[in-house]
Amino acid sequence: MTTDSSIRADAWLEGARAKLGAAALGPRAEQIGRVEEAGDGIALVSGLPDVRLDELVRFDKGQFGFVQVLERDRVGCVLLDDVDSIEAGDAVRGTGDVVRVPVGPALLGRVVDPLGRPLDGKGPIVADTLEPIERPAPAIIDRDLVIQPVQTGLVVVDTLFALGRGQRELIIGDRAIGKTTIAIDTIINQKTSDIVCVYVAVGQKSSSVRRAIDAIQAAGAPERCIIVVAGSAGSPGLQWIAPFTGFTMAEYFRDRGQHALVVVDDLSKHAATHREIALLTRQSPGREAYPGDVFYVHARLLERAAKLSQDKGGGSLTALPIAETDAGNLSAYIPTNLISITDGQIVLDAKLFHEGLKPAVDVGTSVSRVGGKTQAHALREAAQTLRLDYAQFIELEMFTRFGGMPDVRVRNQLTRGARIRAILDQPQHAPLRLAEEVALVLAVQSGLLDALPLTAVAAFRRGLRDALDRGVPEVVRLIQETGTLDDVGKQALTETLRRHVEAVAPPKPAAPP
């Protein structure tokens, strides 16, 4: 009598025989390398003659790395994970693939590491697909003119150094003088735009990253942001691939006709990581001990920022890389490299910062090589002579410090310049709408603020939003939607500003009897 167990056993046996019969029997060659040396996030491996540059390799204990250096009889691998458990003699196998990361809408609102693994405790990420971190930059024929603005909400940037969609603008300055704040304010201001933001933290302290995340979550639109974190305690490999990961995640949206913004904070630390890896893999050092390809590494990264043509969907990828200087030295190796790669730079000055001007932008050395063509028409018309007026004020202020009584014309210029500096001073994480920026510039350039004490300018700014929404809502809507301002709207806006100045001006002292 046949039992159920014997029937199952026979079925299993038949299945096993079928699988064995279908198996391709015969010898199979497999290259297995061995770790010769390991330490500090680097492994030197021999026995893999066919492995390629940037190829992903797998170690016997489950770790991964990628090939960074090819030598005659061995390769230098950069480890991505669990670097301390790799030992000499461990087996290594090539995968035939490159480093890939998840991309797609599932990443929006998440905090991930450079391999796309979640760090926010919100569960796994189900991504659309995996894309390689190294991708070629769009060809020139596939690019379009940079003519659409990226509103930062910062008066000093939008009026003097406007950014365009597809531009690469460097933010550079000494340590702890507001570089990251400018970038975070730009991300926060995109809560009312259609731009997807990617913030990449490279080698930053955990407390600094936490502050940036908290600011985005409190004042921005975190559901349309991706935050990639490669902390200072992470492996050099993860820090090295972090900027490339951020660009790949942003390119997903650009290639589908959308707009994206990438902030890399910062490329100075990325360059230091690249130098560390190069020295550990025994590459020849060059200037300041950096390897000769450090310029190429950053150039091929930042060239991926572009405005695509309509045939390619019309999407854009804007890059805001950050670099740190030492004692304001812009002629150092990495700063000069990045300045030559990007389309302009916003230079922050430590002296201005300690004097209380924030953002501490140095108007004389900052420049945007594209922004004038992207600036909103209403703002461009209002700020035509603003930069020249402010530059003249700085020079006049310096000369009048030596004493003497300037004439009436010079006193008027000093009065106007002081008001310009007052409206350029702005608290952090409080970006302004385009209409408010136009109103501020129009107020100072038309002389409405000349009679207002400097101490009252801050009150004027605080009440500006409500005054505009109450007085000229249609003008505000026109500026926000089209970026233009006609003569009738300008007249109405000027009258509203005049009433607002009168409302915030301190009462005049009574005349003596």
Residues annotated as part of the active site: 369
Give 67-72's long-range contacts (Cβ < 8 A, gap of 24+).
Answer: 68/277, 68/281, 69/281, 69/282, 69/283
CA-nearest of 368, 498, 361, 393 to 439 is 498
3-class secondary structure, 140? helix
Contact at 8 Å (CB) between 347 and 172?
A: yes
Relative to beta strand 33-39, strand 42-46 is: antiparallel
Contact at 8 Å (CB) between 247 and 317?
A: yes
What's the Cα-to-Cα distance from 32 to each of 37, 56, 92, 266, rounded to whole Å? 16, 14, 6, 37
3-class secondary structure, 495? helix
Q: What is the largest CA-CA distance in the chain?
A: 127
What's the Cα-to-Cα distance from 203 to each of 273, 345, 474, rounded to whole Å? 9, 22, 47
CA distance 104 to 129: 7
Query: Scanning the structure block, which residue is given the tokens 């900052």?
Result: 366
Backbone φ/ψ region at 260: left (φ over 0), alpha (ψ -120 to 50), beta:
beta
CA distance 480 to 97: 47
Contact at 8 Å (CB) between 241 and 133?
A: yes
With b for 16 or more beta-carbon neighbours within 10 A and e for fewer, the 126-150 pattern comes to ebeeebebbeebbeeeebbebebbb
Beta-carbon count within 10 A of 90 CB? 17
Q: Read off the amino acid at residue 404.
A: G
CA distance 336 to 289: 16
